[in-house]
């Protein structure tokens, strides 16, 4: 049997890079895709293919997928990992930045799905893994636009699963908790950029400080934990529809489900 081919977006760092390494170890032909190929040279040393991809540029996405299909003849697995967190008070965040957040986290993901599904459907098999977040089920202060995108990924993935099941294509959602990556640092910087002045300045500064402290500490889970979870979701015969994994993911979602919205709001305000 020929090796399965996996395409991973956002493979230049964090979960994406760790997943590329994990799937390579599991015997997949792996293509790591990101805007900056220079940040994936360490993957090339391991025998992982790297390819340029900008999920806000349709020409780039079409070229990426076609290049793999022309070379390999198929894409068996798509891991939609590209994304970022843009924090800031909803009143303050410029609509241009809000649109970019949705463009990267939702529309880029959706377009990649559109591009790989025809070949998967032709082969009557495939697996699409969409990286959501525990933030697709719960919320945090000043994360309005980010959480909106992750809630969208959840609903999108559910509908996609129903549509593709008759063609032998599985859709899996991964919901990471707190992970040791640059995600929290970037989100905190975006928060400061958007809300450093005005009505939300004091609260925003406190939240940003807390995010940086958390994401530079030792309590977060490692990206490799999520990579192993993705590897399992891809290789088991019948995967779960969702995997909630990583630091504080299950407790946070449990608290919200058990205590309700108002009580959850009070808990969030205590720690932000």
SS3 of residue 36 by DSSP = coil
Tokens 């994994």 belong to 245
Q: Enter the tokens of residue 265.
A: 């709001």
Q: Are 40 and 208 spatial neighbours (Cβ–Cβ below 8 Å)?
A: no
DSSP 8-state code for residue 81: -
CA distance 15 to 45: 18
- What is the chain's Cα-based Rg? 18
CA distance 171 to 131: 11
Q: Are 184 and 215 spatial neighbours (Cβ–Cβ below 8 Å)?
A: yes
Catalytic residues: 12, 132, 146, 150
Q: Enter the tokens of residue 55.
A: 């999920």
Paired with 34 in beta bridges are 52
| Residue 94: other Cβ atoms inside 10 A | 11
What residues contact residue 238 under an 8 Å CB cut-off, 6+ apart? none
CA distance 168 to 89: 42
CA distance 205 to 222: 26
């Amino acid at each position: 049997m020929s090796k399965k081919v996996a395409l991973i977006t956002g493979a230049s760092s964090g979960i994406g890079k760790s997943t590329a390494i994990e799937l390579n170890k599991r015997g997949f032909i792996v293509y790591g895709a990101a805007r900056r190929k220079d940040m994936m040279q360490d993957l090339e040393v391991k025998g992982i293919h790297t390819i340029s991809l900008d999920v806000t540029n349709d020409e780039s996405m079409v070229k990426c997928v076609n290049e793999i299909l022309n070379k390999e003849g198929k894409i068996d697995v798509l891991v939609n990992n590209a994304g970022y967190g843009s924090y800031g008070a909803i009143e303050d965040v410029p609509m241009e930045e809000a649109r970019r957040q949705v463009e990267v986290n939702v529309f880029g993901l959706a377009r990649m799905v559109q591009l790989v599904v025809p070949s998967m459907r032709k082969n009557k098999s495939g697996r699409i893994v969409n990286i959501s977040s525990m933030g697709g089920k719960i919320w945090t202060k000043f994360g309005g636009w980010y959480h909106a995108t992750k809630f969208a990924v959840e609903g999108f993935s559910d509908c996609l699963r129903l549509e593709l099941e008759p063609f032998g294509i599985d859709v899996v959602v991964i919901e990471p908790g707190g992970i040791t990556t640059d995600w929290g640092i970037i989100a905190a910087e975006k928060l400061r950029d958007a809300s450093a002045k005005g009505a939300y300045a004091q609260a925003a500064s406190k939240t940003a400080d807390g995010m940086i402290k958390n994401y530079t500490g030792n309590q977060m889970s490692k990206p490799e934990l999520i990579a192993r979870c993705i590897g399992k979701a891809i290789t088991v015969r019948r995967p779960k529809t969702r995997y909630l994994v990583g630091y504080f993911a299950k407790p946070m979602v449990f608290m919200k489900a058990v205590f309700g919205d108002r009580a959850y709001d009070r808990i969030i305000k205590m720690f932000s």
